[in-house]
Chain A
Amino acid sequence: EAGVAQSPRYKIIEKRQSVAFWCNPISGHATLYWYQQILGQGPKLLIQFQNNGVVDDSQLPKDRFSAERLKGVDSTLKIQPAKLEDSAVYLCASSLGLANYNEQFFGPGTRLTVL
């Protein structure tokens, strides 16, 4: 079974530039999550989708971050414009559904460096 795919794996940009990350979840997984993991910290949930609808985006900085999952499968996360403090690993995860006990499967992440 293929895991969660993410691209690119690494991205270096200058502040005020835009960047987009792509995630393809495990086939059949209805729930998709985007996390931000700053060096030395645990992942922080940015947004959670159930199929193509948003379940929770309370910690997404909506003035600069946006995410979509138009067809309920793959998803993109965009930052526009980027700030220095956005330097982090962006992790995508998926699970079968919304139940608390469902295992979340994580992709390898995209490491973003903002100069």
Chain B
Amino acid sequence: TQLLEQSPQFLSIQEGENLTVYCNSSSVFSSLQWYRQEPGEGPVLLVTVVTGGEVKKLKRLTFQFGDARKDSSLHITAAQPGDTGLYLCAGAEGAGGTSYGKLTFGQGTILTVHP
């Protein structure tokens, strides 16, 4: 079973600050997804990264996939209270896209942005 470790587990910051969440594994993933989950709801997909070294930007969010496809990071610029939530990374196993959509999730990072 492949494992994904996220850090930090908890993050409490003030509005306007920047932050980075890390997702690391000793295994190679064919793709990696980032989700955001709010209390009482299911996770919602933010982005999928596929290529090693890939960088994707979504407004104030920047996602990076490591060159070796074993790690990823999520950077938020000028955080807002609306960014508060649980951020989850999830890796699709296998190097050839044949893992039938099975995702392994990290344990999550709980982000709180104070006004």
Contacts and interface: CB of A to CB of B under 8 A. Distances in A.
Interface string A88-110: 00010101011111111111110
Contact of A108 (B31, B41, B88, B107): B41
A105 B6 CA distance: 22
The A contact surface, by secondary structure, is: loop
A41 B43 contact: no
Contacts, number: 69
Interface in A66-115: 91, 93, 95, 97-109
A106 to B, nearest CB: 3
Interface string A8-40: 000000000000000000000001000000001
A104 B102 contact: no
Number of chain B interface residues as a range: 20 to 34
B108 A99 contact: no
A98 B103 CA distance: 11
B74 to A, nearest CB: 14
Nearest to A45: B102
A44 interface: yes
B85 to A, nearest CB: 13
B30 interface: yes
A44 B108 CA distance: 12
Contacts of B100: 48, 50, 55-56, 98
Interface of B: 4, 6, 30-31, 40-45, 48, 50, 88, 90, 92, 94, 97, 99-108
Interface of A: 4, 31, 40-45, 48, 50, 55-56, 91, 93, 95, 97-109
Given A45-B103, A93-B42, A106-B43, 7 more contacts: A42-B105, A55-B102, A95-B101, A100-B97, A101-B92, A101-B97, A108-B42
